[in-house]
Structure 1
Amino acid sequence: MIAKISATENLGGALGYNFKKVEKGEANILLAAELYQDKDGRYTMEDVLADMEALIPKNCRTKKTVFHCSLNPHPDEKLSDETLMQIAKEYMETLGYGKQPYIVFKHNDIAREHIHIVSLRVDCRGQKINDRFEKRRSKQITDALERKYSLIPSSKVTDREMKEVSKIDTTKGNIKEQVAEMLLSVLKHYEFCSLGELNAILSIYNLAVEEVKTEFRGKKYNGLVYVPTDDKGGKVSTPINASDIGRGVGYTAVQNRMQKSKQSIKALISAAREKVLHVMRTSPQTEEALQQRLEEQGLRMVVRKNENGRIYGITFIDDKEGIALNGSRLGKGYAANVFNGYFSNPANNPFLDETLYGNPSVCLEQSATVQPLQSNAEEGDNLIDELIEDMADGSFLSTSNDDWKEAAWQRKLRKLSKVNIRRRKR
């Protein structure tokens, strides 16, 4: 079990986050201690907020008076509400918050059920609850609870599994903090090789990234801005400069991450390609059917269309492996225009053509070794296909004076030169 503790001065924000999930049916209240309960036995946001605020003395010198914690059992654990309640009680008592007012929420908005606890860091006299070595003591408590209740040890849980990421909600305020927390989690978990692939990931969380180019005193600078969006991808808030969030999400950091990702994803491309090929051989007639069958295989699909409804970009995301792959990265036969053509005429399924795709197991095994030796014309087509897709989905942004055909040709020459160099070394 992993505990995530935070201190804040925004009591309304901490309670609002949890009560909003209750309203949506994504959470329920397990336990409330020392808090007002209405005549129907319910706890409302207004009552709990007023009750807690009344317990904070006006002359309190502590700024961050709110204790907010999430307790996260292993994803494979299936604990009863009674067990979770008892764990929450023992955790709060042992940590020193047993006599404080607190409320416990059970979240079920993701597959891994977990609980959130909101309490106060000061008592009725305004004295701060002892928080020395709080995280160290918290770890000792969760370890003891794991042993007592025979839980799966937290040592078997990775950071990727445990990090909870929520969509950006501009109505909650603190937009920059929301964006920063979400970005740091996404950049830690996912591998991607273009801004288009990163955008496909971020779209799930109502965020988009854009590249900006400026010039100052004759020197050109590249940067990134992050834009909160709605569920349809429309901008709903002012863009936030990466520099206002931190260096870890800036242009250089993201570029370095993309370069490193190119090496780490190589071993995972074949498995993703095989899943897509397997599903496409079942001839799903609609995008919705393809989406559903891919999810059964552990892949999410993000499709981008122009105003005419034409598919210009398609990205496959494996959340477990933490990778995002544009269709063209799987191979020429998986580019966006192939899927656009198929859905325009489902009767003509190119994935059933044995001459193009062959036996799935043989074809996929050979593709990784044969691809560098394909003809120059075909390799050039692949480069141009990938460039067109990246340009359309925003991962390749150029100035008005750039010639994208020339850029594609230069990329082709550089790649071919590397192949020739490797051949000479052999």
Structure 2
Amino acid sequence: MVAVIKTGSSVHNIFNYNENKVKEGIAEFIGEGNYPLEAAKLTGAMKLNRLLKQNSLNENVKRNSVHISLNFDPSESALSNDKMLEIAEQYMQKIGFGNQPYLIYRHYDAGHPHMHLVSIKIREDGSRIDMQNIGRNQSEDARREIEKTFGLVQAQLKKRGTDQFIRPLVLSKIKYGKTESKRAVQSVLDHVLSAYKYKSLSELNAVLGLYNVRADRGEENSRIFKTNGLLYRTLDENGKPIGVPLKASEFYNKPTLKFLHDKFQENNKTVYQKKRIANAVDLILLGRSISLSDLAMQLGKEGIDMVFRKSELGQLYGITYVDHLSKCVLNGSDLGKQYSAKQIEERCGLSFEKGVGNRIPVIYEAFKSSGVFYTETDKQSFFDDLRLEMNTLDFKSAVQKIIEVLTRIENDTFYVPNQLKKASKKKRVRRRSNNL
């Protein structure tokens, strides 16, 4: 089971999000907690007013709404509504929300069974529930206990960070006219905004574009740009905007420009896993010349998408790498000069048969900071030999030399503690007698 906890400043938005899912036939209201009437007898107004009335007891708390999703493995699709209600009740008790009013919705818009819980932070006495680190502490403890109690698939047995069973079905490219646009865009935003690490609007759009969505500030002289507004657009198969743009404020989680700027600053403090992308590119290009499209296809098999930025004339001026495993989004220049658009084009365009010596600088850059050379003389000798072998088209020997350097032990001197060393024998020196 995977629990995702979000807070917000509007109970209306979270409530309407779930109720609209019910109206669309892709969700079901299955239960409540701490309401005066049972779920079947509650009207929409009753559900909402109970939350609003208690929230009004402390108007100083701005982010007063709580939205939790509990996600189960696809193999657990047989979970009944009654079982989900039991799980929801135990979970809310264990994280400190057992006495709070909450609503339970079962959703059917993803490839795995899951439910959404809508609640509030304000207690009956007007005090605020502290949610600092609740996801890392109380929620994790609750998750592990519930998995054991109900015999659920344990989340820690899944590969961390891959989101293997919480990926919505809609997270393929949106096809305009095939699905309701706002709902489809909302599903993409729910996944991408929280999961991926991006530091700018262009990096975010590199990910969103994979699902035919774009965040758009408008033209510089437009009203929406001047007022720091933001639109989300659906794209056609050619990457061109289609349909009516949607304002960021229309979505329940308010993914506005201010929200994104906060995410940019937060992600700037994150340590990015650059080596996986760089190593994957180097390994694919090692010893062969392939086209850009072939490189992109090979990287795709490793879970890395290459997003090309081109001018109106079709000239490539930038590459963004999207790693779906580590969720890192990086421009080529952030990885290093040899992964920028210009260098990648050159590396793809060259072959060993057509001037193999030109690849030496590229290989040198990759090895320069690796720390595999003991001395500068050692490094220079290696590249002199490599250049000679590559220029004589002895490719197999050149690759073998690279492998030897990468896999050799840094220091092959066998270390023996002083206590275990044998005492060295002193050489006896014969002295001649002075009488001779």
TM-score w.r.t. length of structure 1: 0.51
Q: 1:264 to 1:109 in 2, by over 3 A?
A: farther
The reply to whether residue 56 of structure 1 matches residue 44 of structure 2 is no
The correspondence of residues 100-139 of structure 1 with structure 2, limited to 5 A, is 100-129=100-129, 131=131, 134-135=134-135, 136-139=137-140
Query: Which residue is 1:246 aligned to?
Result: 264
Residue type of the alignment partner of 2:139:
S
Query: Which residue is 1:73 aligned to?
Result: 72
Residue type of the alignment partner of 1:159:
G
Secondary structure (helix, strand or coil) at the match of 2:279 reads: helix
Q: 1:97 to 1:413 in 2, by over 3 A?
A: closer
Query: Which residue is 2:359 aligned to?
Result: 419
Query: Which residue is 2:195 aligned to?
Result: 185
What are the Cα deviations for residues 46-80 of structure 1, in whole angstroms up to 9, with x where unaligned? Answer: 43222321233445443332222111223433322
The correspondence of residues 88-107 of structure 1 with structure 2, limited to 5 A, is 88-107=88-107
What are the Cα deviations for residues 83-139 of structure 1, in whole angstroms up to 9, with x where unaligned? Answer: 211111111123332232111111221102211111122233312346576331221
Q: 1:321 to 1:181 in 2, by over 3 A?
A: same
**Residue pair 1:317, 1:324 contacting (<8 A) in 2 also:** no
- Write the distance in 2 (CA, Å) between the matches of 1:46 and 1:66: 17
- Write the distance in 1 (CA, Å) between the matches of 2:106 and 2:131: 24
Residue type of the alignment partner of 1:11:
V
- Write the distance in 1 (CA, Å) between the matches of 2:302 and 2:84: 29
**Residue pair 2:306, 2:319 contacting (<8 A) in 1 also:** no
**Residue pair 1:390, 1:396 contacting (<8 A) in 2 also:** no
**Residue pair 1:70, 1:115 contacting (<8 A) in 2 also:** yes
Q: 1:4 to 1:204 in 2, by over 3 A?
A: same
Q: 1:266 to 1:6 in 2, by over 3 A?
A: same
Query: Which residue is 2:211 aligned to?
Result: 204
Query: Which residue is 2:326 aligned to?
Result: none
Query: Which residue is 1:147 aligned to?
Result: 148
Secondary structure (helix, strand or coil) at the match of 2:162 reads: helix
Secondary structure (helix, strand or coil) at the match of 2:104 reads: strand
**Residue pair 2:310, 2:317 contacting (<8 A) in 1 also:** no
The correspondence of residues 14-413 of structure 1 with structure 2, limited to 5 A, is 14-35=14-35, 41=40, 43-78=42-77, 79-129=79-129, 131=131, 134-135=134-135, 136-157=137-158, 158-161=160-163, 182-187=192-197, 199=206, 201-204=208-211, 206-208=213-215, 228-230=232-234, 232=236, 233-234=241-242, 235-237=245-247, 240=257, 245-247=263-265, 261=277, 263-264=279-280, 322-324=303-305, 391=314, 411-412=345-346
**Residue pair 2:15, 2:118 contacting (<8 A) in 1 also:** yes
Secondary structure (helix, strand or coil) at the match of 1:29 reads: strand
Query: Which residue is 1:302 aligned to?
Result: none
Residue type of the alignment partner of 2:98:
G
Residue type of the alignment partner of 2:264:
G
What are the Cα deviations for residues 268-310 of structure 1, in whole angstroms up to 9, with x where unaligned? Answer: 99xxxxxxxxxxxxxxxxxxxxxxxxxxxxxxxxxxxxxxxxx
Higher alpha-carbon deviation: 4-13 or 137-146: 4-13
What are the Cα deviations for residues 235-262 of structure 1, in whole angstroms up to 9, with x where unaligned? Answer: 5458959756414778xx9xx8899635
- Write the distance in 2 (CA, Å) between the matches of 1:199 and 1:60: 39
Residue type of the alignment partner of 1:104:
I
- Write the distance in 1 (CA, Å) between the matches of 2:204 and 2:133: 40
Q: Which runs of 5+ in 2 are unaligned?
A: 175-179, 221-228, 249-255, 286-292, 321-340, 351-356, 364-385, 390-397, 399-436
Secondary structure (helix, strand or coil) at the match of 2:359 reads: helix
Query: Which residue is 1:347 aligned to?
Result: none
CA shift, 1:31, in A, is 1.1
- Write the distance in 2 (CA, Å) between the matches of 1:390 and 1:183: 31
What are the Cα deviations for residues 124-158 of structure 1, in whole angstroms up to 9, with x where unaligned? Answer: 33123465763312211211111111112121233
Q: 1:263 to 1:75 in 2, by over 3 A?
A: farther
Q: Which runs of 5+ in 1 are unaligned?
A: 189-194, 214-224, 270-311, 330-385, 398-406
- Write the distance in 1 (CA, Å) between the matches of 2:343 and 2:264: 36
Q: 1:226 to 1:261 in 2, by over 3 A?
A: farther
**Residue pair 2:57, 2:122 contacting (<8 A) in 1 also:** no
CA shift, 1:19, in A, is 1.7
- Write the distance in 2 (CA, Å) between the matches of 1:48 and 1:320: 47
- Write the distance in 2 (CA, Å) between the matches of 1:29 and 1:318: 43
Residue type of the alignment partner of 1:96:
G
- Greater percentage in helix: 1
- Write the distance in 2 (CA, Å) between the matches of 1:163 and 1:323: 19
- Write the distance in 1 (CA, Å) between the matches of 2:298 and 2:21: 26
CA RMSD of superposed structures (Å): 5.3
CA shift, 1:227, in A, is 5.6
- Write the distance in 2 (CA, Å) between the matches of 1:185 and 1:132: 20
- Write the distance in 2 (CA, Å) between the matches of 1:87 and 1:226: 38
Secondary structure (helix, strand or coil) at the match of 1:391 reads: coil
Q: 1:67 to 1:55 in 2, by over 3 A?
A: same
Q: 1:262 to 1:411 in 2, by over 3 A?
A: same
Residue type of the alignment partner of 1:264:
A
Q: 1:132 to 1:179 in 2, by over 3 A?
A: closer
